[in-house]
Amino acid sequence: MARRTPLNVAVVAEESAGIQALRRLAAGPHTVALVLTTPSPRRGGATVAEAARQLGVPTLASERVRRPELAEWMQEAEVDLLLNIHSLHIVCPEVVEAPRIGSFNMHPGPLPEYAGLNAPSWAIYEGATQHAVTIHWMTRGIDVGAIAFESHFPISDDDTGLSLTARCVQEGLPLIDELVARAARGDQIPARPQDLSRRRYFDPQPPQDGRISWSSPARRIVDFVRAADYTPFPSPWGHPRARLAGRELGIARAAASGLPTAAAPGTIGEIDGSTVHVAAEDEWVRVRRLYAEGRYVRAASLLAGHDHLEDG
C-alpha cells in the first residue's frame, strides 16, 4: 500500500460548502495552512471565518487571492494544494501556480457546457434533466482547466436553484476527499482536457433581464421561477418579475397545472385557496407565492379582484 504523506493545504472558501470542506480537511491528517474567506464582522454564526477560528486555522480576506504576493507566502509555507470552494474571487495566475501539486476548483455544474456563474439555476431554467459537479485544475482562464473528477446526477421536477446547488455540494465534497487522498499517496491526479468548442460561459445576469413573459410556455415560466428559488436565502437572480396594475411583483413559487387554456397570456383565472391560476401561452400556471415590498405573501392576497398580470 502506498504511504500517505500529510499535505499542506490552503483553502479559498465561502458558504456552507466551504465550512463543510474545511471541517472535513481539518478532521484528517493534513494541515490546513490558511483559509481565505470573507471576514466575519463578529464571532458567532455559520461562516467559514468562524469555522476557521474554532479550528485554530489562520485566515486572510479572500480578496488576497487576487494579489501575487500571496504566491510568495504559499511557496515559503510549502503549500501542496490550493482548493477553491464556492469563492467567486478570480485567483491571480501567480497564486494558481504557487502550490507544489496544483490548484483546484469545485464548480457546481458540468464543464465545459456550464462555465461561469449560477450553473444550477441555468440548468433548471434551460430544462436540463441532468447536472454535474466538477473538480477541475485551475489555470489562467476561468473554468477552463482540465477535469480531475466529476459526478453526474438527475435534476428532478421539484428541484430549485437552492436544492440543486446543495446536491452539487453533496456530490462534490467526496470528490475533494478523493483528490486529497490521491495527492497524499503521490498518485497521478486525472487531467482530462475540456472540449472548449462546447464551452458556454454564463455571466451574473439572469435570463430575460429577470422578467416573466406570460406568452412563454408554462414549463419555461415554472422552470424560471424554480431556477431563481433559493428560499430562505437571497437569490442571485432575485425573483422573476411581473407587474400588477403598475406595481412590480416577484413570482416566488409557481407550478404547472396541466390545464390547457385559450385565455390571453397573463389572464388571472381561478383562485384555489391561496393559489391563483395565471394564463401562459399553452396552459394555466399555478402561482402560489409572491414577493412584494420586501416580504413574501400568498398569491391570492394580492391577485384577487384583478383580471390581468402583466409581463415584468
Residue-wise pLDDT tens digits, 12-62: 999 999 999 999 999 999 999 999 999 876 665 689 999 999 999 999 999
Instruction: Please report the domains of the chain, with CATH numbers, ordered by start residue.
Output: 8-202 (3.40.50.170), 208-311 (3.10.25.10)
Cell output for 239: 425573483
What is the model's pLDDT at position 159? 98
Number of residues in the chain: 312
CA–CA distance, 87 with 27 (Å, rounded to integer):
22
DSSP symbols for 38-88: PPPSSS-SS-HHHHHHHHT--EEEGGGGGSTHHHHHHHHTT--EEEEES--
What is the model's pLDDT at position 44? 58
Q: Is residue 85 predicted with pLDDT exceeding 70?
A: yes
On average, the pLDDT of the chain sits at 94
CB 292 within 8 A of CB 249: yes
Q: Which residue has the higher pLDDT, 246 or 118?
A: 118
Per-residue pLDDT band for 3 (boundaries 50, 70, 90) equals very low
CB 262 within 8 A of CB 218: no
What percent of the chain is modeled with pLDDT above 70?
97
Cell output for 262: 385559450
What is the model's pLDDT at position 14? 94
Which runs of consecutive H residues, i.e. helices, occur in 130-228?
161-185, 218-227
CA–CA distance, 137 with 96 (Å, rounded to integer):
9
What is the model's pLDDT at position 2? 45
What percent of the chain is modeled with pLDDT above 90?
93
Cell output for 228: 431563481
Q: Is residue 187 predicted with pLDDT exceeding 80?
A: yes
Cell output for 223: 422552470
Rg (CA), the chain: 23
